[in-house]
């Protein structure tokens, strides 16, 4: 009996130790994206428990067919053939409805602000490092290439600035743009590494679920539907 009790306590202690290690262990995510002409490649690698658990996913992006350079999504909505007349919907808002709309708008805004606070609190605990973002761009015209290069510098600088405000950036990112004035070129390489504790991610997830448990409020209005003969 004592032996069974000792084994049970040992297993329970080991389980608690594993849960503790899982919560305090940092999760490392490596992201690599490469684009050249019609070739795109995205690789995501996740490491847990000091690299003992690894998961790597390679996602080749879809190549657009030259014969159909656009994707068209068609959606057809059919009116019930048994209806001889069309319907015209009108909504009437009373004073009570207006008050309800204002109260619901206030609650929705509060939800958005609260959600932003939760996400921002979690992102402040995320470490990002080893950012490398290099691009080769050319439009075949020197003036146009110079203009697009300047715009890309502005876009990259803005994105890095936003990331540095929300996350903890450990080192300076390597940002490069190589303009090709005499030829058409489009090539990009982006790499970075994220690190965060699994416990922080779980805690943030619990807070998000708890925060959104009630869902969005429903706006109540008085609807009247009238039929108009065509």
Q: Where are the domains of the chain?
A: 110-125+198-216
Q: Report the distance separating Cα 202 and Cα 7, nearest Å.
A: 30
Decide: pTM greater than 0.85.
no
Q: What is the mean pLDDT of each run of 10 residues along the chain (230 residues)?
A: 76 77 81 85 85 81 51 36 48 57 63 76 91 92 90 92 90 93 90 90 83 57 46
């Amino acid at each position: 009996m004592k032996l069974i009790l000792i084994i049970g306590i040992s297993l329970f202690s080991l389980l608690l130790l594993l849960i503790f290690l899982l919560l305090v262990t940092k999760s490392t995510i490596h992201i690599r994206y490469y684009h050249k002409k019609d070739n795109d490649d995205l690789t995501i690698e996740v490491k847990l428990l000091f690299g003992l658990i690894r998961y790597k996913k390679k996602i080749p992006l879809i190549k657009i067919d030259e014969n159909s350079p656009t994707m068209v999504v068609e959606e057809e909505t059919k009116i019930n053939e048994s209806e001889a007349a069309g319907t015209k919907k009108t909504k009437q808002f009373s004073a009570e409805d207006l008050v309800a709309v204002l109260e619901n708008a206030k609650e929705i805004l509060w939800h958005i602000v609260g959600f932003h606070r939760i996400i921002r609190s979690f992102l402040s605990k995320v470490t990002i490092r080893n950012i490398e973002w290099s691009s080769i761009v050319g439009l075949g015209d020197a003036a146009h290439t110079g203009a697009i290069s300047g715009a890309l510098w502005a876009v990259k600088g803005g994105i890095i600035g936003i990331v540095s405000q929300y996350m903890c950036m450990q080192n300076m990112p390597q940002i490069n743009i190589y303009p090709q004035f005499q030829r058409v070129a489009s090539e990009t390489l982006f790499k970075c590494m994220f690190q965060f504790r699994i416990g922080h991610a779980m805690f943030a997830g619990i807070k998000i679920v708890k925060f959104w448990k009630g869902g969005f409020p429903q706006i109540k209005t008085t609807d009247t539907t009238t039929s108009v003969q065509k």
